[in-house]
Amino acid sequence: MNTPTIRYYLQNQNKQTVDQRIRREPIMVEINYGYVGLDGIGNKRAKPFRIALNASIEPVKFGKATENFKFDKEVFKKATRNNASIRTKMGRLQENIDLLVDRYVLSGIIPTPSEFKHDLLIELGRVKRKVLGEHKILDYLYSKIKKSEEESNMGKRSSIAPNTIKTYRTVSHLIENYQIATSSVITFENFGVKQYWEFWDVMDDILKDKIQINNPKQPRKQRKQDYGYLKTTLRKYQTTFVKTLKDAKEDSELNADFLLNVYDKNIILEKEEASKDVYVTEDEIKVIIKYDAGDDEDLQMAKEYMIIGSLTGMRFESMKDSKEAKVQVYNEGGYNFKYIHSKQNKTKTEIYIPLLEPVLNILEKYNNTLPAYGANPTINKHIKILFKKLKFDRSEDEVLRTYRSGEIRMKKPLHELITTHDCKKTFYTNLYNKQVNPTAIDNMTHPEATQKNRMAKIYNKANMLDKAKMFVDEINKIESSIYKF
């Protein structure tokens, strides 16, 4: 944040002329620290905030009449030489602003004008710090889960995804387990940075089975791991937990006094490299396409998912979000291909994906739409079974980067490592190996941001079609039995 500038001015309450302004007027303060917001018509502008100095003065002792009594340091200094009360208030104001700025900078916070004003009034002693009761974090999380489920069931556009709600519920179980293990109750008021990291240490010990607990609200017993949590898993839970704390911090109805700085970036583990780097080769995709699953619906589901995911680059969430989309045809300017409008609600992105022949053959069975394949863990389970049946057992490296047990390196067969997450890598790697222009691949794997403005939507549609045509041009250069339209 910028160093705050202070502007003193008089509040001319009765809109009097210069000659009429002979009585004392309140001194006001405008504080500007470079915070930029939007005005009523969407333009960016600086947003200072204003408070009263809680002092008044005759205008002639504040500034010159010729300048409409704009604050003049020399006039003010001379007039208040024998009365230091106003200057004392100004000095105290400056000291408290400096104090808050140091606090914000150390915490990496840029407060809103209303937050800065509120904190300043507290430091000046005009607003009392709230002496509040303890607010249980778990109670707040329960209410958040309930509200999120209700909004999701109502189909609200602003509702969060079911998978996100599931993660919130998992975090609620973690808090329950911690409180059972430590015989304590964590609140916004008593949960500081020391206890925050102690919380994750206890979670790690529970997963390692060093601490045994019995949680009646968690019917499914947690699977134990000798090495504890992976950093990637713990980071996901930390991100959800901290987001909950931030939501609570910004909830005007909660009125909790937080001990933990929820905006501190250091309370979330850094991102780690993926634990594996696997993909399905073109030859293996061909074997999957030829495989006859017979009457086994689960294996058929796994087969179809791997074909669609590996030949479109779509993630599980993208397929789910695009299940209502119909196959469309583009037949203009010498092009003739079928595509689907892929959307991802979580990232608010979209793209037109040209559909290769093996994918079209599957979608035709489902009325030219993407099939619904159920839960991601279920699909992963059956994909592993499928790969084992196909004897896809080439050895691959896996590196487990744990929270407190270091790195664990091992070799595993492909059928034990493969998941839906590897389809995007498969899509990219196979095309890259065939010397397809990386930009054309990136266009499919990094969708456009969804536009709301009508004209922007028209432009975006044209842009997505251009990218789809570029992809078609590149695929048509390939000689392959599966990479064809």
pLDDT score for 41: 67
Tell me, what's the pLDDT at 149?
85
DSSP 195: H
Of 72-76, 342-346, 363-367, 462-466, the range with the lowest mean pLDDT is 342-346
Q: What is the pLDDT of residues 238-284, one digit of tens each?
A: 999 999 899 888 887 777 888 899 999 999 999 988 889 999 999 99
Confidence grade of residue 451 (pLDDT, cut at 50, 70, 90): very low
Q: Residue 201's pLDDT band (boundaries 50, 70, 90)?
A: very high
Q: What is the pTM of this model?
A: 0.62
3-class DSSP assignment, residue 468: helix
CATH of region 282-392+420-475, choose from 1.10.443, 3.30.67, 1.10.150, 3.30.1370: 1.10.443
What pLDDT does 42 receive?
A: 66
pLDDT value at position 448?
A: 56
What percent helix, strand, coil does the chain show, rounded to 5? 45, 15, 40
Rounded Cα gap, residues 14 and 29, in angstroms:
19
Residues 204, 72: Cα–Cα separation, whole Å:
63
Each residue of 119-165: pLDDT tens digit?
899 889 887 655 446 789 998 898 888 888 888 787 776 677 777 88
Q: What is the DSSP letter of 225?
A: -
Predicted confidence (pLDDT) per residue in 283-326, tens digit? 999 999 999 999 999 999 999 999 999 999 998 888 888 888 99
Range in 2-6, 17-21, 382-386, 410-414 with the lowest mean pLDDT? 17-21
Average pLDDT, the chain: 88
Q: How far apart are CA 207 and CA 227, in angstroms?
A: 8
Residue 131 has a pLDDT of 47
Where are the domains positioned within the chain? 5-123, 137-267, 282-392+420-475
pLDDT for position 110 = 86
- The separation between the first and the last C-alpha atoms of the chain, rounded to the nearest angstrom, is 54
At 29, give phi and psi (nearest 5°). Answer: -130, 130
Q: How far is the C-alpha of 425 from the C-alpha of 41, rounded, in Å?
A: 44
Output the pLDDT for position 456: 46
Which own/partner contact pairs does 95-101 have at CB distance under 8 Å and 24+ positions apart? 96/120, 96/123, 96/124, 97/4, 97/6, 97/31, 99/123, 101/1, 101/3, 101/4, 101/33
Angle at 406 between CA 405 and CA 410, to 5 degrees: 105
Whether the pLDDT of residue 449 is over 70: the answer is no
Average pLDDT of span 192-212: 95
Contact 302, 313 (CB under 8 A): no
Distance CA 79, CA 93 (A): 20
